[in-house]
Amino acid sequence: MPDVAPGPLAVGLTTALHRAGLPATPDRSVGLARALQLVPPTDRAALYWACRIALVTDRAQLPVFDAVFSAVFDGLLDPADSRGDPTAPPAIGSEPRIRPVPHEPTLERPPGTGSGEADVSLPGSEGEGEESAREVLLAAASTEERLRHTSFAELTPDELLGVRRVVRTLVLATPHRRSRRVRPTRHGGERLDLRRTVRSAQRTGGDPARLIAARRRTAPRRLVLLCDVSGSMEAYTRVYLSLLQGAVAGARAEAFVFSTGLTRLTRQLSVRNPDDALARAGAASSEWAGGTRLAAAVGRFVADHGRRGLARGAVVVVLSDGWALDDPDDVAAAMARLRRLAHRIVWVNPRKAAPGYAPLVGGMAAALPYVDTFVSGHSLAALEEVVAAVAEEGR
């Protein structure tokens, strides 16, 4: 077992994983450190499983995780690089230092790592040793970084499958709003809870011996996603549907798709199994790969669902390139009605990333004055802007 304290070990390993392309966050680092403090691992296998449970969220991440884990605990990378020491050598991933691989036959190899190297193929693993492992690690990190910035329309089917798994894990968290409901509090309430105070006074013969204060509750704003599944959006639709499925399952969002009509898919996408959810969504809608009636779709959403409460005070995300068969004046009128109901409108247009793109005419130009945030969302890195825009407090 490496003699490293839980905190630095967790920070160092998380940093190395993050630089290799895995979504390792500070929260997961803290969780791993707490787990190692509560149940100190007795051998390398126990340490491996503790780290894997705390830091891996998808089976597709296992090859990179195993490669980084082996590199760190075989001595190819130093987990102490992230301890904050200003005199420390360059950080893990930027200038990894090569060290001789210690031969410790008594150490138990972690499950899933084979002979101690990564599960991914290591060319010449016996002869080239740590140099080959380092090259594989850097190659894996480079591939992850390239996928983060590649447009969804340019991915191969295998790459697209991996990206969709990552997209499903994105957390779309809306800002909180203050509810009309109140809850009693002992620490400086905003108002006197008259009903609870009178009820308490009944137990003391009508004497209000105790004044009960109350504070208004807070709750996350509703999230509504409207996804354009017309022919012009086909290259992005499969990834966006994974985003919708993750939002419905994790954030209780409302999901709709539109083309020449509008279809509500919340119930179909709420199934825990992503593949089943997408299959049920595909069977529920006949709107795929047709033309776009943007004004009609937004107008129908407002009339059938928005006014009844779905859009009131909600964060509404529209995923569309704005190419519509409708008159731009009709698009503007529909967006104006939606704007009066929603808290914020985030528009995700993958065409925005194209060089020289400018929404000067058509449906996109008509809708833009009613949009709070306009982002591209054409790649994994660009979807981070969508996550930030959804979480923004706004007006």
Helices 294-301 and 328-341 pack at an angle, to 10 degrees, of 20
Full residue range of the structural domain in which residue 12 is found = 6-71
Do 254 and 266 lie in one domain? The reply is: yes
Q: What's the pLDDT tens digit per position in 317-357?
A: 999 998 888 899 999 999 999 999 999 999 999 999 888 88
Do 254 and 228 lie in one domain? The reply is: yes
Kindly state whether residue 133 falls inside one of the protein's structural domains: no
* Residues of the chain above pLDDT 70, percent: 79
Do 231 and 370 lie in one domain? The reply is: yes
Kindly state whether residue 107 falls inside one of the protein's structural domains: no
| Ordered strands of the 213-220 beta sheet | 176-185, 213-220, 191-192
Do 328 and 214 lie in one domain? The reply is: no
Strand segments, DSSP code E, in the chain are 176-185, 191-192, 213-220, 223-228, 254-258, 262-264, 315-319, 344-348, 373-375
Listed residues 71, 87, 119: the one ending a domain:
71
Residue 346 DSSP one-character state: E
Q: What's the pLDDT tens digit per position in 300-314?
A: 999 999 888 899 999
Kindly state whether residue 282 falls inside one of the protein's structural domains: yes
The pLDDT value given to residue 302:
95
Kindly state whether residue 359 falls inside one of the protein's structural domains: yes
CB contact at 8 A, 225 and 254 = yes
Q: Which class for 207: exposed (0-12), middle (13-18), buried (19 or more C-beta within 10 A)?
A: exposed
pTM: 0.61
In the chain, the number of structural domains is: 3
Structure tokens at 368: 């833009």
Do 299 and 386 lie in one domain? The reply is: yes
Do 57 and 200 lie in one domain? The reply is: no
Do 210 and 321 lie in one domain? The reply is: no
Kindly state whether residue 94 falls inside one of the protein's structural domains: no
Do 242 and 185 lie in one domain? The reply is: no
Structure tokens at 65: 């995780």
Do 277 and 376 lie in one domain? The reply is: yes
Distance CA 44, CA 9 (A): 13
Q: What's the pLDDT tens digit per position in 198-240?
A: 888 888 888 888 888 888 888 899 999 999 988 888 889 889 9
Helix (H, G, I), strand (E, B) or coil at 75: coil
| Residue ranges for the chain with pLDDT beneath 70 | 1-4, 75-142, 189, 286-287, 289, 395
Kindly state whether residue 122 falls inside one of the protein's structural domains: no
